């Protein structure tokens, strides 16, 4: 048989439950999909029944702060407010090259973990816009192997910080992709609502998407998501807006939430939870019982609202842990939201793959004919097992080119002189 395609991946399992599937790849795209394809590739890869997935997508991250843990000092309390104060101390010391170097190192981590698309918020409250310039350069450098979408984020408040609005406009002029905001950090609730209106109008004027840090608070009266949904509908921004964090919803009474969820759905606003960080930073004023802090993920999904999970932070002033592994994010989200049913666990996998891909507007995403050959082969037979094991990424591919490889996670033991092999994967 003549070679007719670049690559054929044989005997793969797919996230939708299909088994023994072959995937043919040519010119960076998937050209055929099915059992026992009558094709031969210049490269043939045996998936051995493991899960072949579209890549992971992080809908919420802060790449300008990543890998800066301990600079200029460690967050001794581990709280959100001390993290914000630390970032303010660090900003005057930032250099563009250091920002670029740390971000590029993180992008290498991401690719090794099969994370090939990231939406990163970038602080625009530094008048020098060093972070904006740095991440635009990073975006340019990583474009061949990673989609990096940038959000102009007025971290100190677009109204509270005197030059934030002008800086945000400058950042958008420089090529930043998305309008951000932080209404709960403005001086008053009224200012918060005004900031939502102002920023949504700016996005509508420029034809851009919106992603706001919204109600990252334990205060049940922090209800800026309601205003965000209203402004989205008023301005015709449906499908282009996301509310990130939404942690105050965890503390709201059920009656109000029963009104709020339909408003969010009607407006086509997506929700982005950050399980690792929400559970770490929220509930700090509680004794016991302590609130989990993460937004109402099962209820949002049941209402027909698009929900994604983000990593948010990795080794920065707010969070000293993390490795760029979206399976770790899904694993925490599953536990915090008590989503332990089979369908619910699969929904958590979708929250770090297909759901954020739609929120970011990624084109050609997914394991389907005609889409980009952006793929991850995991050392697990299905999405639930992948989350359970935080499965090794056996292969990471972008546009049909292999970017990273790792062996299967099998331990070889010697017990009482008897060789044994321990394989933690589920029986097929």
Q: Are 299 and 277 in contact (CB under 8 A)?
A: no
From residue 366, how far is each of 44, 150, 179, 399 by CA, in Å? 20, 22, 26, 12
Dig out the tokens for 168 from the structure: 């945000």
Cα Rg for the chain, rounded, in angstroms?
A: 22
Comparing CA positions, the residue from 239, 241, 131 lying closest to residue 180 is: 241
In angstroms, the CA 131 to CA 102 distance is: 12
Comparing CA positions, the residue from 62, 335, 325, 90 lying closest to residue 213 is: 62
Q: Are 4 and 39 in contact (CB under 8 A)?
A: yes
SS3 for 342-387 is HHHHHHHHHCCCHHHHHHHCCCCCCCCCCCECCEEEECCCCHHHHH
In angstroms, the CA 123 to CA 133 distance is: 11
Query: Would residue 89 show up in a list of annotated catalytic residues for this protein?
Result: no
Tokens 């997506």, residue located: 270
- Write down the catalytic residue from 186, 216, 226, 328: 216
Tokens 């600079």, residue located: 71
Would you please indicate which residues are annotated as catalytic (active-site) residues?
216
């Amino acid at each position: 048989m003549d070679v007719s395609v670049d690559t054929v991946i044989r005997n793969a399992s797919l996230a939708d439950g299909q088994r023994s599937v072959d995937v043919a790849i040519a010119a960076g795209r998937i050209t055929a999909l099915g059992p026992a394809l009558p094709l031969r590739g210049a490269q043939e890869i045996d998936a051995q029944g493991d899960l072949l997935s579209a890549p992971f997508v992080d809908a919420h991250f802060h790449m300008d702060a990543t890998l800066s843990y301990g600079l200029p000092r460690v967050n001794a309390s581990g709280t959100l407010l001390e993290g914000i104060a630390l970032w303010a101390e660090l900003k005057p010391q930032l250099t563009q090259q250091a920002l670029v170097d740390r971000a590029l190192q993180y992008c290498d981590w991401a690719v090794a973990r099969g994370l090939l698309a990231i939406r990163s918020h970038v602080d625009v409250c530094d008048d020098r816009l060093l972070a904006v310039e740095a991440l635009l350069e990073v975006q340019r450098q990583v474009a061949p192997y990673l989609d990096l979408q940038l959000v102009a984020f007025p971290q100190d408040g677009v109204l509270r910080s005197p030059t934030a609005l002008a800086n945000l406009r400058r950042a958008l002029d420089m090529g930043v992709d998305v309008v951000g905001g932080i209404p709960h950090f403005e001086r008053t609730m009224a200012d918060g609502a005004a900031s939502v209106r102002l920023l949504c109008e700016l996005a509508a004027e420029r034809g851009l998407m919106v992603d706001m840090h919204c109600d990252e608070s334990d205060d049940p009266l922090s209800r800026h998501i309601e205003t965000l949904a209203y402004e989205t509908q008023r301005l015709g921004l449906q499908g282009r807006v996301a509310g990130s964090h939404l942690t105050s919803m965890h503390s709201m009474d059920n009656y109000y939430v029963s009104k709020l969820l339909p408003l969010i759905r009607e407006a086509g606003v997506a929700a982005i939870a950050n399980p690792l960080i929400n559970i770490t930073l929220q509930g700090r004023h509680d004794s016991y019982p302590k609130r989990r802090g993460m937004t109402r993920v099962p209820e949002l999904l049941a209402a027909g609202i698009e929900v994604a999970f983000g990593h948010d932070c990795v080794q920065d002033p707010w969070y000293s842990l993390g490795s760029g592994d979206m399976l770790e994010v899904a694993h925490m989200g599953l536990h915090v939201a008590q989503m332990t049913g089979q369908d619910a666990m699969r929904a958590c996998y979708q929250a770090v793959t297909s759901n954020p891909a739609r929120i970011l507007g990624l084109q050609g995403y997914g394991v389907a004919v005609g889409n980009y050959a952006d793929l991850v082969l995991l050392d697990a037979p299905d999405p639930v097992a992948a989350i359970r094991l935080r499965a090794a990424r056996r292969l990471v591919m972008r546009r049909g080119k292999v970017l990273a490889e790792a062996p299967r996670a099998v331990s070889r033991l010697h017990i009482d002189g008897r060789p044994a092999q321990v394989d933690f994967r589920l029986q097929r």
